[in-house]
Structure 1
Amino acid sequence: MSPYLPRPPAALVAARLPEVPAGGRVAVAGLVILRQRPGTARGVVFLTLEDETGVINVIVWRKLFERFRRAVIAGRLLRVTGRVERQAGVIHLVAEKIEDISDLLDRLADANAAPLPPPGQTG
């Protein structure tokens, strides 16, 4: 992996995901624009996140969903750490850790708020 790609807990933008080799571990952050839990997917949840450069497809396996249920269901802004997977030309991030960083959205609207903390130090 290139030494110039941010590594967790920093967040990589969607537009740079194609630079990451399959199996590479990265963290991304974005607004949740879609949650899907198809009945035929055996408990797998599919998330679509969006940042300022594009969209990120995230796969959340059942066991991980149970661990991070609250963030997956209620989070508006998530940071997801996982491994990059490529299938039929589509890039997915297989989640390993999910953080709800939605509280950072409220700070954007408040001009008097303290500066945003460095990645990995939310709240």
Structure 2
Amino acid sequence: MKALQHLKLLTSKELQDVPDRKEIHTCGVVTTKQQPETANGVIFISLEDEEGEIQVIVYKGIWEKPHQRPVVLHSRLLAVKGRWQREDGVCNVIAGHLEDLTPMLGRAGDEQQGFQVML
């Protein structure tokens, strides 16, 4: 994702050194989306970059916004601005704003081989 370097997005590897509660900006290819019935409207998104995985938590108040809902539902390359959370060895991004960067994928974004969407 070298084409995204000018956006100053943190990679999954760089996120490992980020302290708890710090505001961050990252992105990755969407590999899974889940909204378990027991999660009270929370959507869990897994992103992948060339260095690993990034787990994103999107609370209902964020994805229900009219400009955010289509981004959550249709993005294949997703940028996330939010708060980094470290709790008992588990790390997540608590999403504050999401941006669809799918057009940057070019033709590769037309293929969803190997990705599982569970919404």
Normalised by the length of structure 1, the TM-score is: 0.78
Q: Once superposed, which parts of structure 1, at least 4 consecutive aligned residues long, lie more than 6 Å away?
A: none
Structure holding more helix per residue = 2
Q: How does 1:37-116 map to 2 (within 5 A)?
A: 37-67=35-65, 68-106=68-106
Aligned residue for 1:19, secondary structure, equals coil
Q: How does 1:3-14 map to 2 (within 5 A)?
A: 10-14=8-12
Structure 1 match to 2:113: none
Structure 2: 5+ residue stretches without partners: 1-6, 110-119
Larger RCO: Structure 1 or Structure 2 (Cα < 8 Å, ≥ 6 residues apart)?
Answer: 2
Tell me, in whole angstroms, the C-alpha distance in 2 between the residues paired with 1:66 and 1:108. Answer: 28
Q: How far does residue 86 in structure 1 lie from its aligned partner after superposition?
A: 1.1
Q: How many residues align?
A: 101
Larger Cα Rg: Structure 1 or Structure 2? 1
Aligned identity (percent) is 39
Query: Residue type of the partner of 1:60?
Result: V
Tell me, in whole angstroms, the C-alpha distance in 2 between the residues paired with 1:16 and 1:10. Answer: 11
Q: How far does residue 42 in structure 1 lie from its aligned partner after superposition?
A: 0.4
Structure 1: 5+ residue stretches without partners: 1-8, 110-123
Structure 1 match to 2:17: 19
Normalised by the length of structure 2, the TM-score is: 0.81
